[in-house]
Amino acid sequence: MNVLRLVLGFALACSASACVVAADDCAPVIEKPWVRAAPPGATTLAGYLVLRNPCSAAVVVTDVESRDFGMPMIHRSEVVEGVSRMRHVGELTLAPGESLVFAPGGLHLMLMKPERALAEGDEVGVRLVLADGRRVFAVFPVRREAP
Ligand SMILES: [Cu+2]
């Protein structure tokens, strides 16, 4: 199913670049990606990154995909009346030139149902899905601390 969605993503990107949109295939960039190492048997890991939009147009992130996790999501932690909660983030908009920081205590990738045991030094692949159908991919190393 993930493969089908990936193929569909490429198809959408291709059909888009074949028409008028071809002038600008600028895409946002994932920087400093990492996944926090978790104890053996953990069913959820957290991923962090900086998402930079070097383009002259705003970009909208709508979802996250990964072959290494059964259920990846974008979450935001926030403290409401002294209690820390996590919310699912439906859409993230980056203005031209803007960088969004995913860091402990704030925005994060909630990476649920890992497909295999992950230890420090392993790597996972994660794609952010853009509203226009494109994907932004990065390899995320599993680490104990932020790079
Ligand atoms: Cu979360």
CA of 17 to the centre of ligand 1 (A): 34
pLDDT at 128: 97
CA of 16 to the centre of ligand 1 (A): 33
pLDDT at 147: 87
pLDDT at 70: 98
* pTM, entire model: 0.81
pLDDT at 24: 61
pLDDT at 94: 96
The count of other CB atoms within 10 Å of the CB of residue 84 is: 9
CA of 18 to the centre of ligand 1 (A): 38
Tens of pLDDT along the chain (147 residues) come to 444 444 444 434 444 444 334 346 899 999 999 999 999 999 999 999 999 999 999 999 999 999 999 999 999 999 989 999 999 999 999 999 999 999 999 999 999 999 999 999 999 999 999 999 999 999 999 999 998
pLDDT at 73: 98
If we measure between CA atoms, which residue out of 97, 101, 88 comes closest to residue 51? 101
CA of 50 to the centre of ligand 1 (A): 17
CA of 107 to the centre of ligand 1 (A): 8
Q: How is residue 144 annotated by DSSP?
A: S
Structural domains of the chain in order of their starting residue, each with its CATH number: 26-143 (2.60.40.1890)
CA of 101 to the centre of ligand 1 (A): 15
CA 78 from centroid of its chain's CA atoms: 19
